[in-house]
Structure formats: structure tokens, C-alpha cells
Amino acid sequence: MYIFRNAVKNIGRNKSRNILIAVIIFVIILATSVSIIINTTSKEIIDVYKTQFGSELYINLDYEKLKKDRTGFEGITVDQYIAFGESDLLKSKEYKAFVYVGSDGWIAIDENSGNDIINSGNSEDYLPLKAKVEGSTRSDINDDFKSGVRKIVHGKMYENIDECIVSEEFAELNNLSVGDKIKITSNLKKNPMTHELTISGIFEDNTEVVNDHQNLSTYENGSNDIFASFETVINLQLYDSAGSLDAEYVLKDPAFLENYKAELKEKGLSDFYIVSTDEASYNKIVKPVQGIAKIINVFLIVVLILGSVILVLLSTLAIRERKYEIGVLRAMGMKKRKVALGLLSEMLIITGICLIAGLGIGTSISQPVADIMIKNQIETVNDSNDNTNGISIINESESGGAEPLNELKISLNIEAVSQIIVVSLLLAVISSLTGILYITKFEPMKILSERN
């Protein structure tokens, strides 16, 4: 207790010197607080975005290579697409299968508009395609159903194989209701591959309000769409001959791309395909915050290094002024440990006061500092994207539908407080280190003789 009381008195006896040291420590703690608060918040946000949205991946044909040599080219089968989705590196996967079909006994909307004929060779051999049958692994089918542009108004969503849903307009045109059956065919007259589907539900279609359906072929008209389960579509005989499949894979992190490529090669992906991610979209989301984190880390390191050097220099000058005081205490019989503890206590008291002030002010100014930095980083990223040449962005939407990060909501968490306290303690130790080493190195008579 005596050491602590004496440390408090010593701080008052040497006001000018301690005020200077306190100012330096306060500035360092303030800069450290702002840096660590912004850094920890940035890290949390980046981790959340990576977890929630990932990075969409594309598998596209290398047309240049295909033009030069088609030897050994093999397309991707449905089984391969599904196998590609079985990976721990993926956050999610979705499949959509569709096939264009002709009719057997039903009429398509706008069938008589003249847009329903496809020139697929000799019209004597081919029938016009009138609708699209689509199946998805998504529980909400697609974005139109998710947003409410389309919604089921009669019956229910398909649940079993060979069940489907059709639009209200389509059902009225063909006098169809829930429970009725419709027959779909291929466009080959000699091999229609007729298949029967049972209507489990009827949906309201407002896509024509959002999109212009004029001058579309009947199979392109959204009101003619027939939705069934993914399993129903891929099991159709006519899908085997004329169906298409879209697969959407989302990596947990763009950094996993090379590892995922290696997995695809092992699962039989042909060299004629290019595997890439929408890194541009992903970077547009998180890169501004990642840029802030890098800048803050560099700034923090510079502040700590320069601040520590300045503190050592000030402590060296201060200890020269206190040689006689230390020599007298040692000559009176005070042990080195207690003298060192007294010097450390002084710095801990000063640092503690600076910590409270620096943490309070640092928390209040972190938000405006972060706002300025995020604004500059967004402008930098946008300029970088505008100046990028030779990159084809396949999908302009952000990863997983995420909005770009355009603000950084600062919060003070336990991790940030802990780091700031650790840095403050290190500063106190560094400030006291010169005096402690001096006490350890010299005996009291040596110190007093140098004073004389």
C-alpha cells in the first residue's frame, strides 16, 4: 500500500514530465482504440457475410478450346451435376431442369398469334413447342414465387412425382381444375414421348405486369409455364433427348476455388469447362471492409512502434532526472523489487487514466472515422471495377442476393476491450522498462556517486 501511495505522490511531484508522458500514452491508446474497434467490427461483418452469402460459382464451356479441337469432349450429365454439389466446400447448391414441350389436347396462351411455330427443320416432322416444364430443387421454386409475383391461389404445391402446377389463365383457357391431367409431348411427330401430369395447384401469374410478353413465342410466355418437382422433370423421357439443366453452386469462400476445381476434376469434369467464381460481385460486397481492415492494421502497427520508441526515449530522459531519488531509496534499504514496483505503479496509474479517457473518446469517434474510410474504400473499389478490362461478369447480382457493404456499424465488444487493455498494459511496462533496467544494473553508491 505504501508503494501505491508513494507512486501517487510522485506523479504529483513531477507534473510536467508525467503530463507529457500521459499525453503520449493517451494518443497511442486513442489511436489503438479506434483501430481495434474498427478492426474487430470489420472482421465480424466479413465473417458474417462469408457465412451468409458465400461466392457463386460458374461452370462454363471453354469455347476457344472447343473450336480448336473437340476430341474427347463430353458434356456434363445430370448425375455429374449432382455429384459436383456433394462437397464440404460449398455453402449451398441449387438445380433447375427444364424442357420445352408440345401439347396433346390442350391450347397454349396466344397459340394463334403466329408466334408458336419453331422452324426446327421440316414442319412435317416437327410439332410446335408450346410451353416449358420446369423443376427446381428450391422449396420456393424461384424468385417470382418468393417475391409474390406468382402465388398459388387454388390447390397446393406439387408434392409427388408427376404432379404439377399451372397458371390461372392457362387453366381457364383449357377448362382445367385441380386434379385434372394434362399430356405433354416432344416436338417430334414420330416420337412424341407423351407423358401425363396431374395438376395439384393453380397459380396466379403477374409476370406480364413486370415483363412485356408481346411478340414472345408461346413457350416463352410465362403464363404457359408448367412447374413440377425436379425429380419429375429429369425423369421425363423427353428430358433425356431435349432437356437442359442449370446448376448453381455457392462456395463458402472464394479462396476455396482451387480446391473445388481439383474435386471437380476427380469427379470427371472435362478440360473443356472453365470453373470460376463471381469474385467481382463478392469483392464488391466485402472488399471495402477488407480494405479498411488492412489500412487499420498498418496504421496500428506504425502507431505502436513509433509510440513505443517515443515512450522509451521519454523514460530514458526521465530516469536521468530521478537517479538521485532512486539512489537514496536504495541506500535506505529499499529492495530493487520494491523500487521497480513503485516505478511500474506510477506508469500503471497514468496508463489507467489514459485508458479510460482513450477508450471513451475512441469509441465515440470510431463511427465517423469508419464512415469516412468506408466511403473512400467504396469509391476505390468502384473505380477499380470500372477500369477492369477483359473480365466478363456473367451475373450482375451480388452473391446470394446480398447488398454491397456501404456502411460499417461500429460496436464495442469484449474482444476489442481486451485487446485495448493488453496494449495499454504493454505500454505501461515499456514506459517503466528503462527505469527498471537502470535499477537492476547499478548499486546505490554508484548512483549517488554519479549524482555527485
C-alpha span between 108 and 123 (Å, rounded):
19
C-alpha span between 418 and 32 (Å, rounded):
12
Supply the Cα-derived Rg of the chain in whole angstroms: 36
**Is pLDDT at 302 greater than 70 in this prediction?**
yes
pLDDT, one tens digit per residue, over 400-438 is 444 555 666 777 788 888 888 988 888 888 877 766 776
**Is pLDDT at 144 greater than 90 in this prediction?**
no
Dihedral, CA of residue 118, residue 121, residue 127 and residue 130, to nearest 10 = -20
pLDDT value for 400: 44
Task: Name the pLDDT band for 335 (thresholds 50, 70, 90).
Answer: confident
C-alpha span between 219 and 131 (Å, rounded):
4
What letter does residue 272 receive in the DSSP assignment?
A: T
Written as one letter, the residue type at 53 is: F
C-alpha span between 359 and 197 (Å, rounded):
68
pLDDT, one tens digit per residue, over 17-48 is 788 888 888 888 888 888 888 888 877 777 76
CA dist 163 to 156, 197, 205, 231, 232, Å? 10, 6, 19, 11, 8
Dihedral, CA of residue 230, residue 235, residue 241 and residue 246, to nearest 10 = 20
* pTM of the entire predicted model: 0.56
As a whole number, the mean pLDDT across the chain is 79
**Is pLDDT at 115 greater than 70 in this prediction?**
no
Query: Shortest CA distance to 250 belongs to which of 50, 42, 46?
Result: 50
Query: 158-172, 317-331, 433-447: which has the minimum mean pLDDT?
Result: 433-447
Mean pLDDT of 143-153: 89
**Is pLDDT at 145 greater than 60 in this prediction?**
yes
Query: Shortest CA distance to 386 belongs to which of 300, 276, 284, 316?
Result: 284
